[in-house]
Copies of this chain bind each other. A is one copy, B any other.
Amino acid sequence: MKLSEIGEFGLIDRFSPPFLRDLPRAVVGIGDDAAIIERSADEALLVTIDTLVEEIHFVRAKTTPRDLGEKSLAVNLSDIAAMGGTPTSAFLALGLPPDTPVEWIDQLFEGLHGLCRRESVPLLGGDTTRSPGPILITITVLGSIVPRNIKRRSSARPGDVLCVTGTLGDSGGGLRVMLQDLTLGEDERSLLERHCRPQAHLAEGRWLGAQPDVHAMMDVSDGIDSDIRHIMRQSRCGARIALERLPVSRELRGAAGRHGWDLIELMMTGGEDYCLLLTVDPSAMSAVGRAFARDFGRELSVIGSITAEEGRLELLRDGQPALLHQHGFDHFLGRGV
């Protein structure tokens, strides 16, 4: 049997059980955005690791090394944000083919270093190695959090309101702009920037971590269609998403209109938005939403709710079940939607 037959999540299910059985108390392993190691009542350590591989996660000719250096750290910072924590240090494992131009590497480090400084996350160590082909960038980020502020994927409750902290689909739109070499108008340029230089929602994550009425949280990396299923599975619940409420940027709407893109598909499956997906106690939603808008100057977007029907994802458009294959969602049909 090949790996391609069981897929990433099949693989994780396959190897995780023996490791999960070994866990010490006060430790949460595999299954959330970051591992949690509680050290005292006042502090837990968060740890995350993520890899970018050339040809899989990026194309060298289509990205600047500076953006790549920044993005390789940003995706890890986003995992710490998703727990409600603060990143404290970073570690890099870099695999490079011997013919890589030194100037290219210099710019990769400039991008990485710039984000390290802006977020006060020192790079404390690493490993450089030769690669027989693709450029390989693995980053580990440590973070810190007060244990009571930790937001997990497994804490959603039926009735919770489902929210996101930013617009969806911009990064997916930017990827299309990049891969199809579209002419860069103002909208396209903005989407490309969203794709190449994702911003981890660190301040939002810390703020939401401190709200007791925020129950579950994770970051939007694969697209909410895929990401919400992690919350559903780990919280043993279902979810209902109102497609017309998905927050769309002016730039994405403009570009989608010009290029004939399916907006809903991009927002649901584009991925790499790196905003946060969270669930809020319904009785506190309006207060949390008002406070968020006051502190961040933009809406916390309500996109649906958590239901008690374990494993069932309902997509609605104006209250009616959405016929998803009309939106290019054929790959959903096998999943019982």
Residues of A in contact (CB 8 Å), total 70
The contact string, 1 if C-beta is below 8 Å from chain B, for chain A 106-140, is 10010001001100001111111111111010101
Instruction: For the complex, give the distance between the alpha carbons of A204 and B157 in Å.
Output: 50
User: Given A11-B128, A55-B132, does the pair A23, B122 have CB atoms closer than 8 Å?
Assistant: yes
User: Given A49-B91, A53-B131, A131-B56, does the pair A27, B124 have CB atoms closer than 8 Å?
Assistant: yes
Cβ of A128: which chain B residues have Cβ within 8 Å of it?
8, 11-12
Which of chain B's residues has its CB closest to A15's CB?
A: B109
Asked whether, in the complex, the Cβ of B95 is within 8 Å of the Cβ of A127, the reply is: no
A262 contacts the other chain (CB 8 A): no
Candidates B3, B55, B102, B103; contact of A96 at CB < 8 Å? B3
Instruction: For the complex, give the distance between the alpha carbons of A51 and B40 in Å.
Output: 31
Copies in the complex: 2
Cβ of A57: which chain B residues have Cβ within 8 Å of it?
129
A333 contacts the other chain (CB 8 A): no
Cβ of A11: which chain B residues have Cβ within 8 Å of it?
102, 105, 128
A336 contacts the other chain (CB 8 A): no
A161 contacts the other chain (CB 8 A): no
Instruction: For the complex, give the distance between the alpha carbons of A24 and B121 in Å.
Output: 10
Q: What is the distance, in angstroms, from A289's C-beta to the closest C-beta of chain B?
A: 32
Asked whether, in the complex, the Cβ of B131 is within 8 Å of the Cβ of A27, the reply is: no
Cβ of A134: which chain B residues have Cβ within 8 Å of it?
131-134
Cβ of A116: which chain B residues have Cβ within 8 Å of it?
19, 22
The contact string, 1 if C-beta is below 8 Å from chain B, for chain A 161-197, is 0000000000000000000000000000000000000
Asked whether, in the complex, the Cβ of B102 is within 8 Å of the Cβ of A2, the reply is: yes
User: Given A27-B89, A47-B124, A49-B93, does the pair A14, B138 have CB atoms closer than 8 Å?
Assistant: no
A101 contacts the other chain (CB 8 A): yes
A100 contacts the other chain (CB 8 A): yes
Instruction: For the complex, give the distance between the alpha carbons of A24 and B318 in Å.
Output: 53
Show 6 residue pairs from A and B whose CB-CB distance is below 8 angstroms, ordered by the A residue: A1-B101, A1-B103, A3-B99, A27-B122, A49-B138, A50-B93
Contacts A11-B102, A23-B122 given; 13 further ones with Cβ under 8 A?
Answer: A3-B96, A3-B100, A11-B105, A12-B128, A14-B106, A18-B109, A19-B113, A29-B125, A48-B125, A49-B91, A53-B95, A55-B132, A57-B129
